[in-house]
Amino acid sequence: MIVILGAMDSEIAEFLSVMEQRETSVWQGIEEHRGLIDGHRVLVSKTGVGKAMAAMRTQHFIDKAAPRALLFTGLAGSLKTDIRIGDTVLGRDLVQHDLESVVLGLPRGQIPFTEIRFLTPDPALLARATQYQPPEGKVHLGRICTGDQFITHREMSSHAYLHQELAGDAVEMEGAAVALVCSLNAIPYLVARTISDMADEDAVSNFEEILPRASQNSLALVRHLLAGM
Protein backbone atom coordinates (compact mmCIF):
# COMPACT_ATOMS: atom_id res chain seq x y z
CA MET A 1 0.00 0.00 0.00
CA ILE A 2 1.05 3.57 -0.75
CA VAL A 3 0.12 6.30 1.75
CA ILE A 4 -0.70 9.70 0.21
CA LEU A 5 -1.02 12.66 2.57
CA GLY A 6 -1.69 16.38 2.45
CA ALA A 7 -2.21 18.84 5.27
CA MET A 8 -5.73 19.98 4.34
CA ASP A 9 -8.92 18.57 2.79
CA SER A 10 -8.40 20.75 -0.28
CA GLU A 11 -4.95 19.20 -0.82
CA ILE A 12 -6.31 15.64 -1.06
CA ALA A 13 -9.66 16.33 -2.77
CA GLU A 14 -8.43 15.44 -6.26
CA PHE A 15 -7.11 12.07 -5.08
CA LEU A 16 -10.51 11.18 -3.66
CA SER A 17 -12.23 12.21 -6.90
CA VAL A 18 -10.46 9.43 -8.81
CA MET A 19 -10.28 6.79 -6.08
CA GLU A 20 -12.13 3.54 -6.77
CA GLN A 21 -13.53 1.06 -4.25
CA ARG A 22 -13.22 3.67 -1.53
CA GLU A 23 -13.66 2.67 2.10
CA THR A 24 -13.63 5.43 4.69
CA SER A 25 -12.96 5.24 8.42
CA VAL A 26 -12.34 7.90 11.06
CA TRP A 27 -9.46 8.21 13.52
CA GLN A 28 -9.27 11.10 15.98
CA GLY A 29 -11.80 13.04 13.95
CA ILE A 30 -10.01 12.78 10.60
CA GLU A 31 -11.21 10.59 7.75
CA GLU A 32 -8.93 7.95 6.24
CA HIS A 33 -9.73 6.69 2.75
CA ARG A 34 -8.56 3.34 1.39
CA GLY A 35 -9.05 2.29 -2.20
CA LEU A 36 -7.45 2.13 -5.62
CA ILE A 37 -5.91 4.83 -7.78
CA ASP A 38 -4.95 3.55 -11.22
CA GLY A 39 -4.97 0.02 -9.84
CA HIS A 40 -2.64 0.77 -6.91
CA ARG A 41 -3.74 0.23 -3.32
CA VAL A 42 -3.57 3.56 -1.53
CA LEU A 43 -4.52 5.17 1.75
CA VAL A 44 -5.31 8.88 1.40
CA SER A 45 -5.82 11.29 4.28
CA LYS A 46 -5.07 14.74 5.57
CA THR A 47 -2.74 15.27 8.51
CA GLY A 48 -3.84 18.65 9.74
CA VAL A 49 -1.63 21.74 9.65
CA GLY A 50 1.74 22.08 11.36
CA LYS A 51 4.64 19.88 12.36
CA ALA A 52 3.09 18.20 15.40
CA MET A 53 -0.09 17.16 13.58
CA ALA A 54 1.87 16.00 10.54
CA ALA A 55 4.27 13.92 12.63
CA MET A 56 1.50 12.31 14.68
CA ARG A 57 -0.59 11.36 11.67
CA THR A 58 2.40 10.10 9.71
CA GLN A 59 3.39 7.77 12.53
CA HIS A 60 -0.22 6.59 12.85
CA PHE A 61 -0.41 5.67 9.16
CA ILE A 62 2.96 3.93 9.23
CA ASP A 63 1.87 1.86 12.23
CA LYS A 64 -1.54 1.10 10.71
CA ALA A 65 -0.73 0.51 7.05
CA ALA A 66 2.97 -0.46 6.98
CA PRO A 67 3.28 1.32 3.61
CA ARG A 68 5.98 0.55 1.08
CA ALA A 69 6.17 4.30 0.39
CA LEU A 70 4.68 7.56 1.63
CA LEU A 71 4.01 10.60 -0.57
CA PHE A 72 3.30 14.01 0.90
CA THR A 73 1.94 16.72 -1.40
CA GLY A 74 0.41 20.15 -1.11
CA LEU A 75 1.37 23.81 -1.22
CA ALA A 76 4.43 25.89 -0.32
CA GLY A 77 5.70 29.43 -0.58
CA SER A 78 8.67 30.20 -2.82
CA LEU A 79 11.94 31.55 -1.43
CA LYS A 80 13.51 32.13 -4.85
CA THR A 81 12.49 34.62 -7.52
CA ASP A 82 12.96 32.03 -10.28
CA ILE A 83 10.59 29.55 -8.58
CA ARG A 84 7.21 30.93 -9.52
CA ILE A 85 3.59 30.38 -8.55
CA GLY A 86 2.37 27.15 -10.13
CA ASP A 87 5.82 25.54 -10.24
CA THR A 88 6.54 22.23 -8.50
CA VAL A 89 9.33 21.85 -5.94
CA LEU A 90 10.57 18.33 -5.25
CA GLY A 91 12.25 18.14 -1.86
CA ARG A 92 15.84 17.00 -2.53
CA ASP A 93 16.15 17.59 1.21
CA LEU A 94 14.12 19.10 4.03
CA VAL A 95 14.97 20.94 7.25
CA GLN A 96 13.12 22.36 10.26
CA HIS A 97 13.86 26.07 9.87
CA ASP A 98 12.38 27.02 13.24
CA LEU A 99 14.56 24.56 15.20
CA GLU A 100 17.35 26.70 16.60
CA SER A 101 19.86 25.73 19.32
CA VAL A 102 22.76 28.08 18.67
CA VAL A 103 23.56 28.21 22.41
CA LEU A 104 24.49 24.54 22.12
CA GLY A 105 26.83 25.33 19.26
CA LEU A 106 24.54 23.75 16.67
CA PRO A 107 23.55 25.09 13.25
CA ARG A 108 19.94 25.98 12.64
CA GLY A 109 17.79 22.95 11.89
CA GLN A 110 19.97 20.36 13.63
CA ILE A 111 18.15 18.31 16.26
CA PRO A 112 20.12 18.57 19.52
CA PHE A 113 22.08 15.48 20.59
CA THR A 114 21.72 13.95 17.11
CA GLU A 115 23.40 14.36 13.74
CA ILE A 116 20.02 14.95 12.09
CA ARG A 117 19.64 18.22 10.20
CA PHE A 118 18.88 17.81 6.49
CA LEU A 119 16.53 14.93 5.64
CA THR A 120 16.79 13.30 2.21
CA PRO A 121 14.01 11.38 0.42
CA ASP A 122 14.12 8.01 -1.27
CA PRO A 123 16.52 8.32 -4.26
CA ALA A 124 14.37 6.18 -6.57
CA LEU A 125 11.22 8.18 -5.86
CA LEU A 126 13.08 11.45 -6.34
CA ALA A 127 14.62 10.26 -9.61
CA ARG A 128 11.22 9.18 -10.90
CA ALA A 129 9.67 12.51 -9.86
CA THR A 130 12.28 14.51 -11.77
CA GLN A 131 10.89 12.98 -14.96
CA TYR A 132 7.46 14.49 -14.28
CA GLN A 133 6.30 17.01 -16.84
CA PRO A 134 3.53 19.20 -15.38
CA PRO A 135 0.77 20.65 -17.57
CA GLU A 136 1.80 24.11 -16.29
CA GLY A 137 4.90 25.53 -14.66
CA LYS A 138 8.35 24.07 -14.10
CA VAL A 139 9.76 21.35 -11.84
CA HIS A 140 12.59 22.27 -9.46
CA LEU A 141 14.76 20.20 -7.16
CA GLY A 142 15.08 22.19 -3.97
CA ARG A 143 15.49 22.46 -0.24
CA ILE A 144 12.15 22.65 1.57
CA CYS A 145 12.18 24.54 4.85
CA THR A 146 9.51 23.56 7.39
CA GLY A 147 8.30 25.54 10.39
CA ASP A 148 5.17 26.36 12.35
CA GLN A 149 4.83 29.72 10.64
CA PHE A 150 2.97 30.94 7.56
CA ILE A 151 5.68 33.12 6.02
CA THR A 152 4.36 36.33 4.45
CA HIS A 153 7.45 38.58 4.47
CA ARG A 154 10.40 36.51 3.35
CA GLU A 155 12.38 39.70 2.59
CA MET A 156 12.40 40.84 6.24
CA SER A 157 15.72 40.68 8.08
CA SER A 158 14.11 38.38 10.65
CA HIS A 159 13.68 35.77 7.92
CA ALA A 160 17.11 36.21 6.31
CA TYR A 161 18.19 32.87 7.77
CA LEU A 162 15.91 31.09 5.28
CA HIS A 163 18.26 32.27 2.53
CA GLN A 164 21.58 32.86 4.27
CA GLU A 165 21.84 29.96 6.71
CA LEU A 166 19.64 27.36 5.04
CA ALA A 167 19.71 28.25 1.33
CA GLY A 168 16.04 27.35 1.17
CA ASP A 169 13.98 27.12 -2.01
CA ALA A 170 10.48 26.70 -0.57
CA VAL A 171 8.85 27.12 2.82
CA GLU A 172 5.88 25.28 4.35
CA MET A 173 4.61 23.80 7.62
CA GLU A 174 4.73 19.98 7.52
CA GLY A 175 7.26 18.41 5.16
CA ALA A 176 10.34 18.03 7.38
CA ALA A 177 8.20 16.55 10.18
CA VAL A 178 6.85 13.93 7.78
CA ALA A 179 10.38 13.31 6.48
CA LEU A 180 11.76 12.83 9.99
CA VAL A 181 9.12 10.27 10.95
CA CYS A 182 9.56 8.35 7.70
CA SER A 183 13.34 8.38 8.04
CA LEU A 184 13.27 7.03 11.59
CA ASN A 185 10.85 4.29 10.48
CA ALA A 186 12.87 3.47 7.32
CA ILE A 187 9.88 4.21 5.07
CA PRO A 188 10.69 5.48 1.55
CA TYR A 189 9.14 8.91 1.10
CA LEU A 190 8.93 11.96 -1.11
CA VAL A 191 7.69 15.47 -0.37
CA ALA A 192 6.50 17.49 -3.37
CA ARG A 193 5.00 20.96 -3.20
CA THR A 194 3.18 23.19 -5.68
CA ILE A 195 4.15 26.83 -5.22
CA SER A 196 1.09 28.80 -4.12
CA ASP A 197 2.71 32.13 -3.26
CA MET A 198 5.97 34.03 -3.05
CA ALA A 199 5.99 34.13 0.78
CA ASP A 200 5.21 37.85 0.61
CA GLU A 201 2.39 40.21 1.53
CA ASP A 202 0.16 38.67 -1.16
CA ALA A 203 0.70 35.14 0.16
CA VAL A 204 -2.74 34.59 1.68
CA SER A 205 -4.73 35.67 -1.39
CA ASN A 206 -2.41 33.78 -3.76
CA PHE A 207 -2.63 30.68 -1.54
CA GLU A 208 -6.42 30.57 -1.68
CA GLU A 209 -6.57 31.28 -5.41
CA ILE A 210 -4.26 28.46 -6.51
CA LEU A 211 -5.62 25.69 -4.27
CA PRO A 212 -7.74 23.94 -6.96
CA ARG A 213 -4.97 24.00 -9.57
CA ALA A 214 -2.35 22.85 -7.07
CA SER A 215 -4.45 19.86 -6.05
CA GLN A 216 -4.76 18.84 -9.70
CA ASN A 217 -0.99 19.15 -10.10
CA SER A 218 -0.43 16.95 -7.04
CA LEU A 219 -2.68 14.26 -8.49
CA ALA A 220 -0.86 14.34 -11.85
CA LEU A 221 2.52 14.00 -10.12
CA VAL A 222 1.37 11.13 -7.90
CA ARG A 223 -0.11 9.29 -10.89
CA HIS A 224 3.25 9.66 -12.62
CA LEU A 225 4.97 8.15 -9.56
CA LEU A 226 2.47 5.33 -9.21
CA ALA A 227 2.96 4.34 -12.83
CA GLY A 228 6.59 3.53 -12.05
CA MET A 229 5.97 1.62 -8.82
The one catalytic residue in 11, 14, 32, 174 is 11
Q: Is 169 a catalytic residue?
A: no
Do residues 86 and 76 make contact, with C-beta atoms less than 8 angstroms apart?
Answer: no
Can you point out the beta strands (E) in the chain?
2-6, 20-27, 30-37, 40-46, 69-78, 88-96, 139-146, 170-172, 189-197
The CA-based angle 72-55-14, given to 5 degrees, is 30
The one catalytic residue in 14, 32, 174, 197 is 197
**Residue 78: strand pairing partners:** 170
Do residues 22 and 33 make contact, with C-beta atoms less than 8 angstroms apart?
Answer: yes
Q: Is 11 a catalytic residue?
A: yes
Catalytic residue numbers, as ranges: 11, 197
